[in-house]
Amino acid sequence: MKSTLYKKKYIISIIIFAVCLISDRLTKYLAVINLKDKADFVLIKNVLVLTYLENTGAAFSMLAGKRLIFIIITIVFSVIIFLFFLKVKPERRFSPLYICLTVILAGAVGNLIDRIMNGFVVDFIYFQIINFPVFNVADICVTLGVIFLIIFLLFKYRNTDFETKKVSDEEEPFDSIDDEEPLDTAQSKDMSDV
């Protein structure tokens, strides 16, 4: 039963990861083909614009040009997320955590691929109305994943949800069940006649 839960957890996570990563890679490819060295494409005038930007920094172009630092940080961050993912119990109630961790990991890997292959991250979505920095699908995955992860950790789960009960060698896993011998069939039939 437990191995079936683990298999489901991994299969669902792989599908979510693939959908997020493919969406990121495909939209970046389309941005390069349709937006690079071309005029911006206005989706909603003065609100939403598709534009092309090569971001050598982190979010909001912070620490521009520090490629190696971002590659190392992203790899370490991804390993930590993956290890935390492996630690979470394969129970239905933890499904929101699996999804959040998977979406965050997919976004991190999407931008990591850009940094390794290009030396920069392709950004192309611009909310002009609030002058928000240009971003991409991987950024959306990381941002939404982190927001929902924080919400779930603060309001849905308790610290005790993540504790694992250790069973000692001497202790039986079902010690809480009475140690009475089950009635054999003949005894239970005699008692039902009374």
pLDDT tens, position by position, 89-146:
778 888 898 899 999 999 999 999 999 999 999 999 999 999 889 999 999 999 999 9
Render pLDDT for 37-74 as a digit per residue (tens, 0 to 9): 999 999 999 999 999 999 987 765 666 777 888 889 99
pLDDT > 80? residue 194: no
178 is catalytic: no
Rounded to whole angstroms, the Cα distance separating 138 from 29 reads 13
Q: Exactly one of 114, 139, 175, 184 is catalytic; which is it?
A: 139
Rounded to 5 degrees, φ, ψ at 54 are: -100, 105
What pTM, to 2 d.p., does this model score? 0.76
pLDDT > 80? residue 184: no
Domain boundaries, the chain: 2-164
Q: Which one, of 138, 107, 119, 110, lies nearest residue 67 by Cα?
A: 119
The per-residue pLDDT of the chain, averaged, comes to: 83
Name which of 6-15, 41-50, 96-105, 152-161 the model is least confident about: 152-161
Rounded to whole angstroms, the Cα distance separating 194 from 151 reads 58
Phi-psi region of 94 (alpha: psi -120 to 50; beta: other; left: phi over 0): alpha
pLDDT at 179: 44
Rounded to whole angstroms, the Cα distance separating 144 from 153 reads 14
Q: Exactly one of 24, 123, 179, 193 is catalytic; which is it?
A: 123
pLDDT at 146: 95
pLDDT at 14: 94
pLDDT at 145: 97
40 is catalytic: no
Local confidence band at 86 (pLDDT 50, 70, 90 cut-offs): confident
Torsion of CA 103, 105, 109, 111, to 10 degrees: 60
pLDDT at 171: 42
Local confidence band at 157 (pLDDT 50, 70, 90 cut-offs): confident
pLDDT at 1: 61
pLDDT at 134: 94
pLDDT > 60? residue 183: no
Name the percent of the chain lying above pLDDT 70. Answer: 78
